[in-house]
Amino acid sequence: MRVFDSITDFMNKRQSLDGPLGFVPTMGALHDGHESLVKRSLRENKNTVVSIYVNPTQFDSNEDLEAYPETLLKDSEKLEFLGVDALLLPKLTQMYPDSFRYEITEKDFSYEMCGAYRSGHFVGVLTVVMKLLNIVRPNRAYFGEKDYQQYSLIKDMVEAFFLDVEIIPCPIVRDPDGLALSSRNLNLSSCQRIKAPLIYELISSKSSDDEVRLKLTKEGFDVEYVQTKFGRRFIAAKIGTDPSIRLIDNVELMT
């Protein structure tokens, strides 16, 4: 596996990569959910590139950014073992040489659900993904359905700007108790980890959105939203304090 901490060096190497190229953008702290994306890319493409970049422009607080887990050595070893061809580790000054002067803004869906509670979050997400897609120039890019709103916005952005890449959604990977895998799960205390699967249990139940919110609130969760849209039920809820840990999930509803 080649490791690139220079965008210029990677782009020079990209010119020599022939055949289908798959891309998995991540912020590190890799888990089995990320691994499922990488494995699918490896099956479907001649070359697979993974990026690890904790993008500061998509965080709505410095506290949240600083709390994001970092496991770069372990991540790199895992990706090499899987057979990834290249790992891209861009630096902040390379990604934002203009100090975030230019940005990608969506004027509708990005203000709902997570966007209603995380100011500027999707501006940061869409901007960094646009940059990464232009750097890597993949044929296919893989995104997990746990962040379904993010996936939907990225897919629509690619279509709106006529980018020549297929955005592929991949199913949520869960622990045996139903908790959706997330890098933020590393920050859960043992007691919080025991309680967290209640989110999946309730959104998968026949309870209404309001009933789910009420039940989780009674259990000590700070529920931002429970919303049914696109045939799915979406949720974001925080657990704990100082700092709280924000968990999101969604399930496809049976008709």
22 labelled as ligand-binding? no
Show Cβ contacts of residue 98 under 8 Å, excluding neighbours closer than 6 positions: none
Q: What is the DSSP letter of 146?
A: G
Share of the chain above pLDDT 70, in %: 100
Calculated CA dihedral for residues 23, 25, 28, 29, nearest 10 degrees? -80
- Average pLDDT (122-149) is 98
Q: What is the DSSP letter of 242?
A: S
Distance CA 81, CA 120 (A): 36
181 labelled as ligand-binding? yes
193 labelled as ligand-binding? no
Looking at residue 241, its pLDDT comes to: 87
Which tens digits make up the pLDDT trace of 18-54?
Answer: 999 999 999 999 999 999 999 999 999 999 999 999 9
Q: What structural domains and CATH numbers belong to the chain?
A: 2-170 (3.40.50.620), 183-252 (3.30.1300.10)
Which tens digits make up the pLDDT trace of 49-89?
Answer: 999 999 999 998 898 999 999 999 999 999 999 999 999 99
Q: Which 3 state secondary structure label does DSSP give 235?
A: strand
Q: How confident is the model at residue 255 (pLDDT cuts 50, 70, 90)?
A: low
Exposure on the CB side of residue 63, measured as CA atoms within 13 A: 6
Distance CA 205, CA 55 (A): 35
**Residues 75, 62 contacting (CB under 8 angstroms):** no
150 labelled as ligand-binding? yes
Place of tokens 């580790």: 89
Q: Which 3 state secondary structure label does DSSP give 37?
A: helix
- Average pLDDT (193-211) is 97
Which tens digits make up the pLDDT trace of 147-165?
Answer: 999 999 999 999 999 999 9
Q: Which residues of 122-144 are buried (b: 16+ CB within 10 A; e: fewer)?
A: bbbbbbbbbbbbebbbbbbbbbb
Which is catalytic among the residues 22, 25, 26, 34? 34
58 phi, psi to nearest 5 deg: -100, 0
Query: Which amino acid appears at position 207 of this protein?
Result: S
Q: How confident is the model at residue 113 (pLDDT cuts 50, 70, 90)?
A: very high
121 labelled as ligand-binding? no
Show Cβ contacts of residue 14 under 8 Å, excluding neighbours closer than 6 positions: 136, 137
31 labelled as ligand-binding? yes
Calculated CA dihedral for residues 208, 241, 56, 237, nearest 10 degrees? 0
246 labelled as ligand-binding? no
Distance CA 60, CA 75 (A): 25
User: Is 34 annotated as catalytic?
Assistant: yes
33 labelled as ligand-binding? yes
Residue among 232, 142, 126, 244 nearest 184 (CA): 244
Q: How confident is the model at residue 250 (pLDDT cuts 50, 70, 90)?
A: very high
**Residues 239, 247 contacting (CB under 8 angstroms):** yes
What average pLDDT does the chain have?
97
Distance CA 1, CA 201 (A): 40
Asked if the model's pLDDT at residue 243 lies above 90, the reply is no
Distance CA 226, CA 217 (A): 12
pTM for the full model? 0.96
